């Protein structure tokens, strides 16, 4: 087991609270990053993963023709056990507990590819907009680690500082096409305020679930991989009503594949995966896990991953 030693200093914590994001030059090693690239290259386009609805294109309907624009693999740890014990995971969990408190635990993870030359932009959005039930308060943070150097030309992360202190703004399906899984923010904000965060491979950005963020297209000849780990606190009931009307749409193609897979025996596999990831000792996390498991096993949408 890797023992994490990285903790944030007071200035870094204050900066995260102020801006809603933080940049770390290193959270992993060159060896681990190379290993991760190999793992994701190997998982990409696996027929089995696609069939169970765990790989899909974020900005293009899976049933549309044409090359992949922004494929992602959801919870790759389910298919590559070596991902369970990475330095990245251990350090990210330590920092997540520093920022969110001891109740913080893993929510979900994904690997996103921007293919060389035509990898599409990830639209401006707030991660909280993906939550299914708007009548809860959510706290989550994501660690976004590139597996090669990133800059503006190949889709580094960009953030609107301070946007996490506002509400969840209006969103809609990317390009206003409900076949697309990704959402784009159509509320009021100023993209000119964006702060771009170029990074070396194995560095990371950390952002709050409400921080507006974006990553541009990949205009280089090298594929751009990012591996993202998201941690959260158990949600709490929210006073007053709010609605996320963009979430009320027909299931996208990958969700239909997932439902079919669950009904044809995937439910047993899914239950096993939940147990294998470990049952939390914290009672509030345990209740939260049971709620998520019930939803997942009922072939409903998973809670808000994206």
Q: Which residues lie near Ni ion (CB under 5 A)?
A: 127
What contacts 215, CB < 8 A, 6 or more positions away? 114, 121, 122, 155, 156, 157, 158, 226
**CB of 299 or CB of 304, closer to Ni ion:** 304
Pick from 159, 25, 156, 35: which is nearest to 91 by CA?
A: 25
Q: How many CA atoms lie within 13 A of 94 on its CB side?
A: 15
Cβ–Cβ < 8 Å for 294, 262: no
Cα–Cα distance between 305 and 296 in angstroms, integer? 12
**CB of 127 or CB of 270, closer to Ni ion:** 127
Least distance between Ni ion and beta carbon 82 (Å)? 25
**CB of 212 or CB of 233, closer to Ni ion:** 212
Six-digit token string for 183: 């959402």
**CB of 99 or CB of 262, closer to Ni ion:** 99
Least distance between Ni ion and beta carbon 68 (Å)? 19
User: Closest residue (Cβ) to Ni ion?
Assistant: 127
Per-residue exposure over 277-294, b if at least 16 CB sit within 10 Å of its own CB, e if not: eeebeeeebeebbeebee
Least distance between Ni ion and beta carbon 120 (Å)? 14
**CB of 228 or CB of 262, closer to Ni ion:** 228
Eight-state DSSP code of residue 277: T
Least distance between Ni ion and beta carbon 207 (Å)? 8
**CB of 109 or CB of 127, closer to Ni ion:** 127
Cα–Cα distance between 209 and 228 in angstroms, integer? 13
Six-digit token string for 147: 């597996």
Least distance between Ni ion and beta carbon 158 (Å)? 11
DSSP run (H or E) holding 23: strand 21-24
Least distance between Ni ion and beta carbon 180 (Å)? 14
């Amino acid at each position: 087991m890797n023992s994490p030693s990285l903790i944030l200093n007071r200035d870094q914590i204050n900066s995260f609270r102020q801006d809603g994001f933080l940049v770390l030059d290193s959270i992993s090693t060159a060896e681990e990053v190379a290993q991760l690239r190999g793992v994701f290259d190997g998982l990409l386009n696996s027929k089995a993963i696609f069939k169970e609805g765990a790989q899909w294109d974020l900005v293009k309907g899976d049933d549309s023709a044409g090359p992949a624009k922004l494929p992602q693999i959801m919870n790759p740890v389910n298919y590559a056990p070596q991902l369970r014990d990475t330095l990245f995971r251990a350090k990210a969990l330590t920092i997540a507990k520093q920022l969110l408190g001891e109740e913080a635990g893993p929510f979900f993870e994904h690997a996103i590819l921007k293919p060389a030359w035509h990898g599409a932009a990830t639209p401006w959005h707030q991660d909280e907009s993906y939550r299914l039930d708007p009548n809860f308060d959510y706290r989550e943070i994501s660690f976004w680690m590139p597996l090669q150097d990133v800059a503006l030309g190949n889709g580094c992360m960009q953030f609107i500082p301070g946007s996490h202190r506002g509400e969840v703004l209006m969103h809609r399906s990317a390009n206003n096409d409900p076949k697309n899984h990704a959402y784009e923010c159509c509320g009021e904000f100023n993209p000119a305020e964006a702060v771009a965060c170029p990074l070396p491979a194995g560095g990371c950005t950390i952002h709050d679930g409400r921080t507006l963020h974006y990553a541009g297209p990949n205009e280089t000849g090298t594929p751009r991989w990012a591996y993202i780990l998201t941690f959260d606190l158990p949600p709490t009931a929210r006073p007053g009503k709010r609605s996320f009307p963009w979430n009320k749409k027909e299931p996208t193609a990958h969700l239909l594949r997932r439902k079919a897979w669950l009904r044809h025996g995937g439910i047993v596999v899914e239950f096993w995966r939940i147990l294998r990831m470990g049952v939390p000792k914290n009672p509030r996390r345990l209740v939260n896990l049971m709620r998520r498991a019930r939803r997942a096993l009922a072939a409903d949408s998973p809670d808000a991953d994206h």
